[in-house]
Structure 1
Amino acid sequence: MSVSAQEAPPQAPSLTKAALLWALALVLAIAAAVAAVIAVRSASGPAQPVRAYLAALQAGDGGRALGALHAQVPAGSTSLLDGAPLRDSMARIRDLTVGTPSAAANGRENVPVTFSSGGSNFTTDFLVEQTGTDWLFFPRWSIVPAALPSIQASVVNSSRATINGVEVNMPSGRNSFPVFYPGSYVGALPGQYFAADPTTAVVSQKSGLVPLTLATKATPALVAAINEKAKDFLDQCAKTASTQQRLQPDCPFAYQTDNRIVDGTIAWSIPQYPSASVTPFNGQWTVSPLSGKARLTARQIDLFTGRVSQLNVERDFQFTVNLSVSGSTITITPVFG
């Protein structure tokens, strides 16, 4: 009779395998914790307050931006520090990039920000410093306070203008506007008769004065209106002179001769009308002297020979006008004599 071997009883789960699983879970938990710490440290690093500041600018939140920047606001109009004009200033900022911080003096860090606007490249540096810690070992960083820059705007012969789409007051043609940086600020003066083309000032630095000069000019509509009024005046002057049969009328043009003019034959006309040029002067608008040609036709008698001949001459003339513009009403007052 044969005897079979007795089977061994089933073994309990391996303690070694369980320990390995627990160890793996612990390693993963530690790795996740380390990754979280690194992520939090990165998010709260030297560049964090700069990113928060730029985000506030893009949102048009001037209060939040000012709090992040800790800036001193110089004297001037605050029209551009919040809302639509602030968002508009960032609308023309392209390729906005926060660079890698680098060590600066006294434990501070320098955070570069690069951007482009209007086809040009710019760099702005933000100096940050550690102002404490969060959760015992996370450094808290803040931008070192500095004064905001200012747009120094000027406009010719106007007490108003627009900057970033907002109408602003320009007492005596000038005003100062504290602004955030980086930013793009576009000034203009829209108007029916006087206007200034858009002019852009890009602000990239944290201090200083940035000029924005608006060169107001007479619009083509104003020049055309002056030319038309000058034409009407000259046409009426020529008509009156012909009706009154005068060689020397109350007009910018006249003619002198020693011959006798046959009554009823005098006729004045204007073959060449002036073309106006309007320029600023001493806070006013002046029209340059208007030049043109007048033609006189008549029959004349030579007093020595008695010969009768046809007179047909052109006379150059020039006169000035005083210009007055009130709303949509244009008035010119001729000055001659």
Structure 2
Amino acid sequence: MTDGPDHVPGWGSVPGADTLRGDAVLPAVMTAPAPGGPPSGQPDASAGGPGHGPGRPRRGLRKGAVIGIVAGAAALVLLVVAGGIGWSVGSDSHSAERPVQAFLQDVEDGRLSDALESAGIDRDTDDVLLTDAAYAEAGDKITAHRITSVDEGDDRATVRVLLTQAGRSVPATFELERTGTDWGVFPVWELQPPSLGSVEVVVQGPTRSGVQVAGAQVTTGDLGAVALRAFPGSYEVSADGGKWFTADASTAAVRGFGTPGTPVVLATTLTDAGQQAASKAVDSWVDGCVASPTATPDGCSFYAYGENPANTYTNQKWTLDARPAVGVGAWSSKGWLVETRSPGSASFTADFTGPAGRGRATAGPIDVNASGWITGFDDDGATFVPAVANGSSDSGS
């Protein structure tokens, strides 16, 4: 039959009614086309398949590619940030103030040996105060500091600081030199040795006197003075006169760096032993003058005159009638001043022969003065130097 279902094209592909179930999938040729779409089984031009027009949408990036781009950008940002932080840290650690900070921190912590080394300060045997032990004895030391300005040039830098010392602000300036670079970028600064202050002591006493400064023993020079380099602080000073003389202890203050200290003057006084030794030295000098077998004892304050050149004098002799009374006062330019409070007296006698025959010559009584100075002491006692000699301030007879 030409018009039965068996002759309709495609009809034979229709499954029988007994094979139709709700979960059966229709063959592709029987799938209903989308409204307005192409026949079933034909590609949709709007899908952008091969050979179709530009209306096809572009395919999006895969999720993995997007994550990779984001991660790369984040890594770049982190690298830039890390580089900026590294530059900042490197610049800060290579700032000219860093060596100054380290130096002052060592000083504040009492690590004087480390401070000397970091600042390149050479120490010799006379620098008895540039030790950890001596500085530990000092008071009024630096307790804090604050950088106020940093001026960096190509090769030199200047760092200004305010030091806190004894409750006051003390300015200080430090110089640095550039010695090279780290990694070819960051400057390396070297602190130049700062000028130190000094403890200056003047002893009103003999030259080469012993002095104790912060427990360290030193000796004055030919001018009776000594100067010692010192870090900021206050140092106790005392004279070591042994059993002969003493002086009240004092304090030497060193403010900041490079500031000369005010000289500390130690006024000495004789001890009882010193007074006794001084009196003995004066008596010995008087006795030596009296024992001189001449009318004009050398280096003495009394003498006799009026002898006849035509006579020959023998048995010349001085007799001390009374000793001068003296007092020993404060140190002057030459020594402890010895003043004659009341003069003594002496008489002179001698035998003579001459054109008129034999006879006996006499002179006196003559004042005996014993003014002068006690210039020092040794194991044998005091040394007395008279102020008058051969009657330069006395009259003979």
Report the TM-score when normalising by structure 1.
Answer: 0.55
Question: Residue 195 and residue 29 in structure 1: after superposition, are their counterparts in 2 closer, same or farther (change >3 A)?
Answer: farther
Worse overlay, 60-69 or 136-145: 60-69
* Structure 2 residue aligned with 1:195: 247
CA distance in 1, matches of 2:111, 2:235: 19
1:176 aligns with 2:227: yes
* Structure 2 residue aligned with 1:102: 151
- Residue-by-residue CA offset, 1:235-291 (whole Å, 9 max, x unaligned): xxxxxxxxxxxxxxx999xxxxxxxxxxxxxxxxxxxxxxx995223454458899x
Gaps of 5+ in 1: 5-10, 227-249, 253-275, 291-319, 332-337
1:202 Cα deviation from its structure 2 partner: 1.8
Letter in 2 for 1:95: A
1:77 to 126, 150, 158: 126
Question: Residue 123 and residue 213 in structure 1: after superposition, are their counterparts in 2 closer, same or farther (change >3 A)?
Answer: same
Gaps of 5+ in 2: 1-21, 26-60, 276-321, 342-370, 383-397
* Structure 1 residue aligned with 2:57: none
CA distance in 1, matches of 2:148, 2:24: 83
Q: Contact 1:117/1:202 (CA < 8 Å) preserved in 2?
A: no
- Partner SS, residue 130 of structure 2: coil
Question: Residue 100 and residue 82 in structure 1: after superposition, are their counterparts in 2 closer, same or farther (change >3 A)?
Answer: same
- Partner SS, residue 263 of structure 2: strand
Question: Residue 90 and residue 27 in structure 1: after superposition, are their counterparts in 2 closer, same or farther (change >3 A)?
Answer: farther
- Residue-by-residue CA offset, 1:80-100 (whole Å, 9 max, x unaligned): 222222345586223322333
* Structure 2 residue aligned with 1:335: none
Letter in 1 for 2:264: T
1:118 to 146, 155, 166: 166
Letter in 1 for 2:191: I
Letter in 2 for 1:196: D
* Structure 1 residue aligned with 2:179: 131
- Residue-by-residue CA offset, 1:29-78 (whole Å, 9 max, x unaligned): 542343233123212211122123223434555554344334577x8821
1:119 Cα deviation from its structure 2 partner: 4.2
Q: Contact 2:252/2:264 (CA < 8 Å) preserved in 1?
A: no
CA distance in 2, matches of 1:155, 1:23: 78
Report the TM-score when normalising by structure 2.
Answer: 0.48
> Equivalences for 1:142-161 in 2 at 5 Å?
142-144=190-192, 148=196, 150-157=198-205, 159-161=209-211
How many residues align? The count is: 246
* % same residue: 20
1:195 Cα deviation from its structure 2 partner: 2.4
Question: Residue 76 and residue 20 in structure 1: after superposition, are their counterparts in 2 closer, same or farther (change >3 A)?
Answer: same
* Structure 2 residue aligned with 1:213: 264
CA distance in 2, matches of 1:57, 1:17: 56
1:47 to 97, 105, 111: 97
1:164 Cα deviation from its structure 2 partner: 2.8
1:324 Cα deviation from its structure 2 partner: 12
> Equivalences for 1:12-31 in 2 at 5 Å?
14-31=64-81
1:101 Cα deviation from its structure 2 partner: 0.4
1:127 Cα deviation from its structure 2 partner: 1.7
* Structure 2 residue aligned with 1:299: none
Letter in 1 for 2:129: L
Question: Residue 51 and residue 3 in structure 1: after superposition, are their counterparts in 2 closer, same or farther (change >3 A)?
Answer: farther
Q: Contact 2:197/2:256 (CA < 8 Å) preserved in 1?
A: no
Q: Which has the larger radius of gyration?
A: 2
* Structure 1 residue aligned with 2:292: none
- Residue-by-residue CA offset, 1:182-232 (whole Å, 9 max, x unaligned): x124241167962233222224344x744432323449xx58x98xxxxxx
